[in-house]
Amino acid sequence: MTNLTGGERAQYVRDMFTRIARHYDFMNRLMTGGQDVQWRKEVIRLAQMKPSASSSRTMSLLDLGTGTGDLAREALKRNPQTRVIAADFTLEMMHVGRKPNDPPYSAADALNLPFKDSTFEAVISGFLMRNVTDVNRSLQEQYRALKSGGRIVILDTTRPKKNILSPFIWFHMHVMIPLLGKLISGVGDAYEYLPDSTEQFLSAEELAARMTSAGFKNVYFKRLMFGTIAIHWGEK
């Protein structure tokens, strides 16, 4: 699956997430031991969406690749006055995740965002970037959609560095996750794609370099969960 490129890969990813949509949140909790909930809270904290006391304007945030909407809801929970848009190109994920009082949902391709230049104070994403077919293009689009001084925050898997825990990490990713995925969702290949796409994705350092090349400044990252997850952030 990960050897596909361009439109073929985009279609595979859309179809895959359509098939696992109803089990997506439960599997995330299971695979991460519930840690993904805290990671999303950290993403919203790093987005820095709380306006100053002297400002009366509404701040705007885009949750790109929103999936079932967890990040978008966390953003509203943290800052109810924020104007949040939840966007994804897999309609079934948004349909399954939709709840009362959710922010507006938008069908959107991360490589061609349907938003004007300088629209948002923050663009955030959770487990999106390793799935896009052109990382540079997606970063450029997010940069374009941000206002000057706006922040990008990316939560995603990353290639872990080799260490004493590497055999256990490999076993968890290549044996336990596909097994659980097949038992719970019935879609084993989707959870083989997860470790494969993680290992073929950019390292944390490489993604930070791509962000800098796209124009972002003050780019930082931190690793989580034995180095298999990273949060990156930067400013326009």
* 42-100 residue pLDDT tens: 999 999 987 655 556 789 999 999 999 999 999 999 999 899 999 999 999 999 989 98
The pLDDT assigned to 218 comes to: 98
Q: Which of 9-18, 95-104, 215-224 has the lowest mean pLDDT?
A: 9-18
| Domain locations in the chain as residue ranges | 6-159+202-235
Q: With 60 as the cut, is the pLDDT of residue 184 above it?
A: yes
Lookup: tokens for 39: 């990671």
pTM for the full model? 0.92
The pLDDT assigned to 39 comes to: 96
Answer for the pair 138, 182: CB distance below 8 angstroms, yes or no.
no
Q: With 90 as the cut, is the pLDDT of residue 180 above it?
A: no
AA identity, residue 39 = W
How is the beta sheet containing 60-64 ordered, strand by strand?
105-107, 83-88, 60-64, 120-126, 146-157, 229-235, 217-224
CB atoms within 10 A of CB 217: 9
Lookup: tokens for 25: 């949140």
Q: With 70 as the cut, is the pLDDT of residue 1 above it?
A: no
The pLDDT assigned to 202 comes to: 93
* 125-166 residue pLDDT tens: 999 999 999 999 999 999 999 999 999 999 999 988 888 877
Tokens 């896009």 map to which residue? 132
Q: With 80 as the cut, is the pLDDT of residue 188 above it?
A: no
The pLDDT assigned to 4 comes to: 62
Fold of 6-159+202-235: Rossmann fold (3.40.50)
